[in-house]
Amino acid sequence: MDPQRKRKIRLVVALSTAVLLAVALIYTSFSASTEAKEPSQLLTATPGTSYEMTGRVVKGSIEREGSGIAFRVVDRDGQGESLPVTYDGTVPDPFRGGREIILTGAIEKGVFVGEPDTLITKCPSKFTTKSDG
């Protein structure tokens, strides 16, 4: 086989592999992703479907419940109706009232039940705006 042809075949093989991988990447990313919602949208969400909730913990709402905790969250802008949440598992250090959290879970009987070890609390920002400080 002459080298020119060989190179061309190699190029085609490499490119098709790349395309295949890219398609797989795109396909799996859409099927593996969890929809992100804010508490006010979750009040009316389908029970049982997994969502990634981003919200702000209502100050003074955190209570210990068995081995886990229960609290309420509102939208990040602090507006709207609050959503009850239960979570069983380790709580990150920065977690407390008024902080923004990200939690994956599903609605069960009107309560957002978080999956263990998915609770992420935003670091008390290094670059805080003054209102936070």
Partner 1 sequence: MASLGSALLGLAFLTAFAAAALAIAGRNGDERLLRFSRRTVYGFFALLTGCVVIIEIAFASNDFSFNIVQQHSSIETPPFYKMAAMWSSQEGSLLLWAWVLSIAAAAALYATRNKLREVVPWATAVMMGVAAFFTGLMLFAPNVDPFATLSPAPENGVGLNPLLQHPSMMIHPPMLYSGYVAFTVPFAFAIGALITRRLDAEWIRSTRRFALIAWAFLGLGLLLGARWSYTELGWGGYWAWDPVENAALMPWLLGTAFLHSIMVQEKRGMLKVWNASLIVGTFSMALLGTFLVRSGVLQSIHAFGDSTVGPYILGLIGVVLVGSTALIVSRLDDLRSEKRIDSLASRESVFLVNNLLLVGMTAVIFWGTFFPLISELFTGEKASLAAPWFDDYTTPLAILLVLFTGVGPLLAWRRVSWDSAKRVFRVPLAVSAVVTLGLLVFTDVADSLWALALFAFAAFALTGLGQEFWSGASARRRLTGEPGPQALVGLVGRNRRRYGGYIVHVGVIVLLIGIAASSSFQTNRDVELRPGESVVVDGRTITYVKPTVKVDEEKLSFGSLLRIEEDGEVVGFLRPSRAFFRPTGQETGTIGSFFSGEATTEVGLRAGIGADLWIAEEPNIGAVQGRVRRADKGFEACIQGGPGTPPECKALGALMRASVGNPQREARALDQISRLQSLAAEDVAKSYLDDTAPSTFRVIVDPLVTWMWIGGIIALAGALIALWPTRGRRRGALVRTEADARKEAKYREIRDAELDHAAGKLSDEDFASLDAELRREALEILDRVDGENGNGNGNGAHPREPEKVEPG
Residues lying near partner 1 in the complex (CB under 8 A) are found at: 21, 25-26, 28-30, 32-36, 52, 54, 64, 67, 89-94, 96, 100, 102, 104, 116-118, 120-130, 132-133
Residues 54 and 38: their CA atoms lie apart, in Å, by 5
Report yes or no: 118 and 104 within 8 Å, Cβ to Cβ. yes
Residues 47 and 112: their CA atoms lie apart, in Å, by 9
Is 29 or 109 the residue whose CB approaches partner 1 more closely?
29
Q: Is 88 exposed, middle or buried (0-12, 13-18, 19+ CB in 10 A)?
A: middle
In this structure, what is the dihedral angle of CA atoms 123, 129, 130, 133, given to the nearest 10 degrees? 0
Q: How far is the CB of 120 from partner 1 (least distance, A)?
A: 5
Q: How far is the CB of 41 from partner 1 (least distance, A)?
A: 10
Is 30 or 46 the residue whose CB approaches partner 1 more closely?
30
Q: How far is the CB of 33 from partner 1 (least distance, A)?
A: 4
Is 37 or 84 the residue whose CB approaches partner 1 more closely?
37
Q: How far is the CB of 38 from partner 1 (least distance, A)?
A: 10
